[in-house]
Amino acid sequence: MMVLEGPSGELFLRMDERLARFIIEPSDDVGNEDIAIGWECRGEKAWDETRELLTKRGFDADPVEPVAWCRDSFVCRDPSGFQCEFFYGGAIEPIRNFVSPTGVTFVTEDQAMGHVTVLTPTYEDSVDFYEGILGFHLRESINTSIRASFLSPNLRQHSIGIVASEGPRQLAHVMVEVESLDSVGRAMDQCIEGAAPMTVSLGRHWNDHMTSFYLRTPAAFEVEYGYGGRTVDRATWARVEQRGIGGSSFWGHQIVRDDGSLGPQVGRVSG
Ligand SMILES: [Fe+2]
In this structure, are residues 199 and 216 in contact, taking their beta carbons and an 8 Å threshold? Answer: yes
Query: Which chain residues have CB less than 5 Å from ligand 1, an ion?
Result: 175, 224
Q: Give pLDDT tens digits for 77-111.
A: 999 999 999 999 999 988 889 999 999 999 999 99
How confident is the model over 251-262, as a mean pLDDT?
94
> Is pLDDT at 271 greater than 50 in this prediction?
no
Q: What is the pLDDT of residue 97?
A: 92
Q: Which residues pair with 222 in a beta bridge?
A: 173, 216
CA 201 / ligand 1 centre spacing (Å)? 13
Give the angle subtended at the CA of 181 by the CAs of 23 and 177, to the nearest 5°: 25
Beta strands in 144-221 (DSSP E): 147-152, 160-164, 170-178, 198-205, 211-216
Contacts of 235 (CB under 8 A, 6+ apart): none
Contacts of 120 (CB under 8 A, 6+ apart): 79, 80, 126, 162, 163, 164, 165, 169, 170
Lowest mean pLDDT among 11-25, 87-101, 136-150, 234-248: 234-248
Task: For residues 229 and 214, give the distance between their C-alpha atoms in angstroms, rounded to a whole number.
Answer: 15
Q: Give pLDDT tens digits for 218-253.
A: 887 999 999 999 999 999 998 887 776 667 899 999
Task: For residues 54 and 170, give the distance between their C-alpha atoms in angstroms, rounded to a whole number.
Answer: 23
> Is pLDDT at 19 greater than 50 in this prediction?
yes
How confident is the model over 107-126, as a mean pLDDT?
96
Indicate the pLDDT class of residue 32, thresholds 50, 70 and 90.
Answer: low
Average pLDDT along the chain: 93
CA 248 / ligand 1 centre spacing (Å)? 10
Task: For residues 190 and 222, give the distance between their C-alpha atoms in angstroms, rounded to a whole number.
Answer: 16
Q: What is the pLDDT of residue 235?
A: 92
> Is pLDDT at 35 greater than 90 in this prediction?
no
Q: What is the pTM of this model?
A: 0.95
Indicate the pLDDT class of residue 270, thresholds 50, 70 and 90.
Answer: very low
CA 132 / ligand 1 centre spacing (Å)? 22
CA 220 / ligand 1 centre spacing (Å)? 16
In this structure, are residues 179 and 104 in contact, taking their beta carbons and an 8 Å threshold? Answer: yes
CA 94 / ligand 1 centre spacing (Å)? 31
Taking alpha carbons only, the member of 39, 9, 4 closest to residue 19 is 4
CA 249 / ligand 1 centre spacing (Å)? 11
DSSP assignment of 61-110 = -EE----TTEEEEEEEE-TT--EEEEEEEEPB-SSS----TT---B--GG
CA 23 / ligand 1 centre spacing (Å)? 20
CA 126 / ligand 1 centre spacing (Å)? 17
Q: What is the pLDDT of residue 8?
A: 85
CA 223 / ligand 1 centre spacing (Å)? 8
Residue 216, SS3 per DSSP: strand
CA 52 / ligand 1 centre spacing (Å)? 31
C-alpha atoms less than 13 angstroms from C-alpha of 94 in its C-beta half-sphere = 0
Report which of residues 248 and 191 the model is more confident about.
191
